[in-house]
Amino acid sequence: MSSATAFVSVIIPTLRGRGWLPACLRALHAQTYRNFEVIVVDDGSSDGTREWLATQPDIRVIRNETNAGFAVACNQGMRTSTAPFVALLNDDTEAEPGWLEALVTKLTANDGPTLPDPPDPSSPVARQQSPLGSAASLMLYADRPLVVQSAGISMDRAAIAWDRLGGHDACEAQDACQVFGASGGACLYRRAMLDQIGLFDERFFAYLEDVDLAWRAQRVGWRCVYVPTARVLHHTSATSGNNSPFKNRLLGRNKLWLAAKNARLRDWPVIAFYDLAAVMYAGLTRGDWSHLGGRLDALRHMPRRATHRHQALCLEPLVSPWRVPSRFAQGSQ
């Protein structure tokens, strides 16, 4: 691994990741693509992570005294880096040896001698010819390596985002294609895209910040591609706990902020209807009203809506409200 002249910076945010980081870093040391550096952002860990990282060679470490959140930690790493490409990787992942090479190869396949300029959002022709701005990995459950956790991000007109093909057999996710966006758990971003649209919205703290970034990228013409040969094993929600009230409250808040920032006004009746149905479903079937608490948090501090023009997005069709939970249930079985 190199640093000063690295073509890719791999950024790993961690919080109490002492148990996960050794396997994560071993997998990076085994990568077939070598022109990259590793930046670990320790978000105030108290489990020995900081001391262990101090003993690891060839790793740049950023240390926070308190937990600033996933979005802030990723942004710190991206701002520290000067590489033309930035990869994000969760600390509870293990990337297969060809992971980074597959992402870099796909994202740079049509690049010339120099990196492409950002697309002009005012030009339809430029948008159609715009370069790839990000690449999504095939994320597989670590305890079920033949089952998909994420094959990119899907989104519909109701501003509902979910892990594409979550819960499906890995053999069903072998075709590369354009997708709405890339999961921040394992992805590759082009620096030129980030320079144009900005980094993660740090108000989100954690969850859906990658969807917000993908939506902003779509609006100005950057495309995202799913790369099935970029395979990563993932121990999901190792830090905050799957379906914990803390996570659900953040998801509820950030979902409303996501729509407020990015959605078209004409889509808001649909968004409001589906969102109310989601809150009622969680509350009445599981007795979980943490999502509602998150929505109330969002209403107290609503972000400013984007004012620049929208373009057609890579959206999935709407389904009936009672079919929406199955999108998420498949991935959590």
DSSP code per residue over 27-73: HHHT-S---EEEEEEEES--SSHHHHHTT-TT-EEEEESS---HHHH
Q: Which helix (H) or strand (E) holds 132?
A: strand 132-141
The Cα 82–Cα 128 span in angstroms is: 28
Q: What are the pLDDT digits (tens) for 30-60?
A: 999 999 999 999 999 999 999 999 999 999 9
Mean pLDDT across the chain, nearest whole number? 90
Q: For residue 114, what pLDDT is reported?
A: 66
What average pLDDT does range 102-119 have in this prediction?
A: 83
Domain ranges of the chain: 93-333
The Cα 58–Cα 248 span in angstroms is: 37
Q: For residue 288, what pLDDT is reported?
A: 78
Q: What are the pLDDT digits (tens) for 275-293?
A: 999 888 888 887 778 888 8
Q: What are the pLDDT digits (tens) for 50-98?
A: 999 999 999 999 999 999 999 999 999 999 999 999 999 999 999 999 9
Q: Which helix (H) or strand (E) holds 279?
A: helix 268-286
What average pLDDT does range 217-238 have in this prediction?
A: 91
pLDDT at 255 over 50: yes
What average pLDDT does range 108-115 have in this prediction?
A: 77
Q: For residue 240, what pLDDT is reported?
A: 55
CA-wise closest residue to 73 among 63, 83, 81:
63
Q: What are the pLDDT digits (tens) for 118-174?
A: 777 665 444 455 689 999 999 999 999 999 999 999 999 999 999 999 999 999 999
The phi, psi pair for 154, rounded to 5°, reads: -110, 155
What average pLDDT does range 262-272 have in this prediction?
A: 94
